[in-house]
Amino acid sequence: MSEIPWLLQEEKKSAAAAPPVVIVIFGASGDLTQRKLVPALHTLACEDLLPEQIAILGVARSPMTDEEFRQSLEAGVEAHGRMTPEHCQRWGEFSERFTYMAISYDDLGSYDQIAQRLAEYEQLFEGCNVLFYLATPPQLYAPIVKRLGESGLSTSSNDETWRRIVIEKPFGHDLASARALNKQLHQVFDENQVYRIDHYLGKETVQNLLVFRFANAIFEPVWNRRYVSKVLITVAESVGVGHRGGYYDQAGVVRDMIQNHALQLLTLTAMEPPVTFNATALRNEKVKVLQAVRPFSTEDEHLASVRAQYRSTDGNGPTYRMEKGVDPESQTATYAALRLHIDNWRWQSIPFFVRSGKYLKQKTTDIAVVFKRAPHLLFPHSTGELLPPNILGICIQPDEGIHLSFRMKVPGAGMNTRKVDMEFHYESDFGDGNLPDAYERLLLDALLGDASLFARGDEIELSWGIVDPVLDAWKSGSVPLSFYEPGTWGPMEADELAARAGATWTPGCAPH
């Protein structure tokens, strides 16, 4: 397996020579640790991207020995790692860096025990940095942060070393709870110590949106209301809620996918070029987009949003209300489509459509930038209709790449035209297996102190401010709940929503 392409040799050396660090994972017996965090750490270790002196302390409620902990992690690395123990044969040595401690999240004594363990590492490593990672259920974030503050663990005893905290999603349940959590965090940590995860930002193709837009001069002149007619963002999943019915029924698709992942894609697509590539400049520009999103209006909410649930009509397929942990009369949406507007010079009057859902026809995350039609039509179109517009398709996943559709002359007599595609695929240009998992990138960035790909506090609050009115409108019943057949592209109301603005949802990452 080849190396991570995004780190230069120099950066690689500095990552390996970075000062000692201890990562304390809260929620270490859970799914996320096993499926994502440890496989990502193991791959980073295989690629020599972790400091020489690193220790990982897992803490959670269940009693477990270090050995049992390591065994459960090995199973996770084998099943989910981009590099498995077989690939790099370092698991044996690397696994010894992991230790486990059973704690009670609310008990100050447990934090004293953590402090004592950290003091031992400090002695061993002659000083070390500490990264706290909250991979617990969200209701534990605030109590853990509070205890970290009370026990003095949030601050380092000297100026040479740092303490940082990574917080998983969901960050809040609505604007009020996100604000409260930010407040609780800021009572203990400075904003520059806080790294809020949105794993979509760690995806290679999401970062490539920035490179595509800002490392190529040819797109910028047409990236605006004069040349673009609409933008459609799809975050579709072919799976259902699985064993997370209890959580999902409280969250629904807007909280689970739109407030975070889909709005991140929207901001990166719509933002102005930052003056420099650093966390502050980048996040300032994203914040400006969110500030410009037009508030959801109560007059046309039924025209600007669709909510739906999957339901199998013949009973052979899955039905959301029959999932484990889901209320049999649940009103929770597993599908949503929204029409948004960005009130600024660049995007005035251009609709941005966003849709996401479970049990759709296929897994695809893509952004279709639909350009305006040629202003004057010289050539007859084969079907006699208007010539279709050029579409730029940015395929985030799977089959990561970029498609651009345009018209060409059909060879032979006459001037008939046909749509063709110019395509770029990561796999064919950069090789299979070269795309790092999002968590590899995010963990490394948190260790290196680069918060560019993490959501800032104000960004999160603004995005809740956009979706809260949608959820309120839905709760009031003014937008009826629709149903869709699992395995389709969702309810016809979503097609109507797009059609009202002359748009059509694009078929995934396939050529348009």
Residues in touch with ligand BG6 (CB under 6 A): 169, 237, 256
Q: How far apart are CA 394 and CA 145, in angstroms?
A: 38
42 is catalytic: no
Read off φ and ψ for residue 235, nearest 5 degrees: -125, 85
Token duo for residue 221: 């002149």
In SS3 terms, 390-401 reads as: CEEEEEEECCCE
The residue (of 237 and 323) whose beta carbon lies closer to ligand BG6 is: 237
Residue nearest to ligand BG6 (CB): 256
**Which entry of 42, 173, 261, 341 is annotated as an active-site residue?**
261
Look up residue 244 and give its two tokens: 């997370």
> Terminus-to-terminus CA distance in the chain, angstroms?
32
Closer residue to ligand BG6 in complex, CB, 161/362: 362
With the C-alpha atoms ordered 290, 292, 298, 299, is the resulting torsion angle positive or negative?
Answer: negative
- Residue 240 or 274: which CB sits closer to ligand BG6? 240
Smallest distance from ligand BG6 to CB 256, Å = 5
Task: Round to whole Å and give the CA distance between 250 and 261.
Answer: 18
Of 357 and 465, which CB lies nearer to ligand BG6 in the complex structure? 357
Which CB atom, from 70 or from 169, has the smaller least distance to ligand BG6?
A: 169
Which is nearer to ligand BG6, 169 or 456 (by Cβ)? 169
Among 297, 286, 289, which Cα is nearest to 338's? 297
- Copy the structure tokens of residue 488: 């389709």
From residue 33, alpha-carbon distances to 72, 77, 101, 373, 425 in Å are 10, 10, 15, 49, 31
Report yes or no: 364 and 266 within 8 Å, Cβ to Cβ.
Answer: no
Among residues 35 and 90, whose Cβ is nearest to ligand BG6? 35
DSSP string, 213-257: HHS-TTTGGGSSTTTEEEEEEEEE-SS--GGGHHHHHHHHHIIII
Closer to ligand BG6 by Cβ: residue 304 or 368: 368
How many other CB atoms are there within 10 angstroms of residue 154's CB atom? Answer: 21
The conformational region for residue 4 under phi > 0 = left, psi -120 to 50 = alpha, else beta, is beta
Instruction: Tell me the residue ranges of DSSP E strands in 358-448.
Output: 364-371, 391-397, 401-409, 417-425
Q: How far is CA 296 from CA 123, 145, 160, 269, 464, in A?
A: 55, 33, 47, 20, 12
**What are phi and psi for residue 459, nearest 5 degrees?**
-60, -45
The two three-digit tokens of residue 439, written as one number: 């968590």
Contact at 8 Å (CB) between 341 and 293? Answer: yes
Catalytic positions are: 261
